[in-house]
Amino acid sequence: MPLKESFFNDVYEVASKIPYGRVTSYGAIAEYLGLRGSARMVGWAMNASHTGKNNVPAHRVVNRNGLLTGKHHFGGPKVMEQLLRSEGIKVKDDKVVKFEKLFWDPRESEQ
C-alpha cells in the first residue's frame, strides 16, 4: 500500500474535482479533509500547487466571501478573474457573482 500522500495531494484531488463553472471555498475543502477550521492549509496547498505537477484549478477556490483573495498568486491580479469569466463565472469587484449559487461542496462528489 502506498504511503500516506501529503495532504496537499488530497487538496489537489478535491480541487480538481470542482465542476466546470463552479467554485468552492478554502474552508469547505478544509472541512471536507477534516481540517475544518484550518482553511489556511488549503490556501497553502494552493500556493504549493504552482510548483510540481498538478492540474489544480485554483482559480475556482475562493475565500468564504467569494473574494478572489489569491488572485495575485496566479501570476497576475487579472488572471484569476479572467479564468473564472472564461468559465461563465461572473466576477465583480474581485468577488464571485452569485457565489452562493455557484458554490460547490466537495461532498457533492461523493453522493
Partner DNA sequence: AATGTGACATACC
Partner DNA sequence: TGGTATGCCACAT
Our finding on whether 102 is near DNA (CB under 7 A) is no
Task: Compare residues 19 and 63 and give the one whose CB is closer to DNA.
Answer: 63
Kindly identify the residues of this chain, within the stretch 26-85, that bind DNA according to CB under 7 A.
Answer: 26-27, 35-44, 46-50, 58-59, 61, 63-65, 69-70, 73-74, 80
- Residue type, position 10, single letter: D
**Helices and strands, number each (H, E), in the chain:** 5, 4
Minimum distance, C-beta of residue 80 to DNA, in the bound complex (Å): 7
Our finding on whether 24 is near DNA (CB under 7 A) is no
- CA distance to 11, 17, 109, per residue, from 29 (Å): 7, 11, 12
Task: Report CA dihedral (5, 73, 60, 14) to the nearest 10 degrees.
Answer: 0
Our finding on whether 18 is near DNA (CB under 7 A) is no
Our finding on whether 8 is near DNA (CB under 7 A) is yes
Alpha-carbon Rg for the chain, nearest whole angstrom, is: 13
Partners of residue 91 on adjacent β-strands: 96
Binding residues for DNA (CB under 7 A): 6-8, 25-27, 35-44, 46-50, 58-59, 61, 63-65, 69-70, 73-74, 80
